[in-house]
């Protein structure tokens, strides 16, 4: 499970950096690397989104560790 957590966190960080680039420079790194809404870029967006949803469970785990 720890490896899945690390992969998820890495993908979400990549997604956050992509949004930073979009917000500051209007540059979409994923679209630049894989094409604008190609199948591969959509897969990257979907994986980042799913990992973000999965990382919501970290809130519950943080609270469990404090108790």
pTM of the model: 0.83
Average pLDDT over residues 12-37: 96
Spatial contact of 20 and 14, defined as CB atoms under 8 Å apart: no
Kind and range of the H or E run holding 23: helix 2-25
**Span 5-28, average pLDDT:** 96
Tokens 């894989």, residue located? 34
For 30-61, the pLDDT digits (tens) are: 999 999 999 999 999 999 999 999 999 988 88
Per-residue model confidence as pLDDT tens digits over 3-12: 999 999 999 9
pLDDT for position 33: 95
8, 51 in Cβ contact below 8 A?
yes
């Amino acid at each position: 499970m720890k490896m899945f957590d690390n992969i998820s966190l890495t993908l979400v960080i990549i997604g956050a950096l992509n949004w930073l680039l979009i917000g500051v420079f209007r540059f979409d790194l994923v679209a630049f690397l894989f094409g604008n809404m190609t199948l591969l870029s959509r897969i990257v967006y979907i994986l980042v989104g799913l990992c973000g949803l999965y990382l919501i469970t970290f809130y519950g785990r943080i609270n469990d560790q404090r108790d």
